């Protein structure tokens, strides 16, 4: 039996309605996902501030409780040098890190955040005022990139890169640093 024009139009209309419903459903799902990512970014930003505030007071145990690290964590310290891997962070080294910072306060400013279901990147300016390595307390502004990865239901820090170049340096100073010379 031939298909009538009316049944073709009815089928087409139903198909358009279904595709519109699917589009709206996809848009709703995307909006929910974006809201969840925004909330995750806000939570990780707050946890980062809480953990780093503890670190600036020398509370290394609390730092690690608030921000667990991945087994393949990589630290690029603001003091430069060879990056530090999770396997190099022995209990002794972690204890020494806790003693390195004293009597500090901490603030930060979010510059940009990138997020997906399993990874979040925060580009921030940290503004601690702290005693570091026995030096008198001073401001230590840092440009920082934090990368978090979800492992099962928990967000863990996989990478931290920090540098003290918030105020900038001249080309000559950068060249001296690149050569390993004192600026």
- Write out pLDDT tens, residues 7-64: 444 444 555 555 666 666 776 767 767 788 899 999 999 999 999 999 999 999 999 9
User: What confidence score (pLDDT) does residue 3 get?
Assistant: 47
| CATH hierarchy code of domain 5-178 | 3.10.450.50
pLDDT in tens, 133-180: 999 999 999 999 999 999 999 999 999 999 999 999 999 999 999 999
- Inter-residue contact 155 to 148 (CB < 8 Å): yes
- Inter-residue contact 139 to 107 (CB < 8 Å): no
User: What confidence score (pLDDT) does residue 12 get?
Assistant: 47
- Inter-residue contact 113 to 124 (CB < 8 Å): no
User: What confidence score (pLDDT) does residue 9 get?
Assistant: 44
Q: Residue 73, SS3?
A: strand
Q: Where are the alpha helices (DSSP H) in 57-111?
A: 60-66, 91-100
- Inter-residue contact 105 to 56 (CB < 8 Å): yes
User: What confidence score (pLDDT) does residue 35 get?
Assistant: 81
User: What confidence score (pLDDT) does residue 183 get?
Assistant: 58
The tokens describing 18, both together, are 């279904």
Separation between Cα atoms, residue 169 and residue 172, nearest integer Å:
8
Separation between Cα atoms, residue 99 and residue 32, nearest integer Å:
43
Separation between Cα atoms, residue 4 and residue 12, nearest integer Å:
12
Q: How confident is the model at residue 69 (pLDDT cuts 50, 70, 90)?
A: very high
User: What confidence score (pLDDT) does residue 152 get?
Assistant: 93
């Amino acid at each position: 039996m031939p298909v009538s024009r009316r049944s073709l139009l009815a089928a087409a209309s139903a198909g358009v309605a279904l595709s519109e419903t699917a589009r709206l459903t996809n848009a709703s799902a995307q909006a929910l996902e974006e809201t969840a990512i925004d909330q995750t970014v806000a939570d990780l930003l707050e946890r980062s501030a809480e953990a780093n505030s503890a670190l600036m007071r020398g509370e290394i145990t609390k730092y690690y409780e608030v921000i667990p690290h991945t087994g393949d964590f990589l630290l690029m310290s603001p003091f430069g040098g060879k990056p530090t891997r999770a396997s190099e962070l022995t209990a002794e080294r972690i204890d020494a890190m806790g003693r390195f910072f004293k009597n500090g306060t901490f603030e930060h400013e979010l510059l940009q955040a990138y997020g997906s279901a399993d990874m979040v990147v925060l580009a921030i300016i940290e503004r601690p005022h702290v005693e570091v390595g026995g030096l008198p307390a001073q401001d230590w502004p840092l440009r920082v990139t934090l990368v978090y990865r979800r492992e099962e239901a928990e967000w863990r820090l996989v990478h931290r890169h920090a540098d003290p170049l918030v105020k900038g340096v001249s080309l000559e100073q950068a060249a001296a640093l690149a050569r390993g010379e004192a600026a």
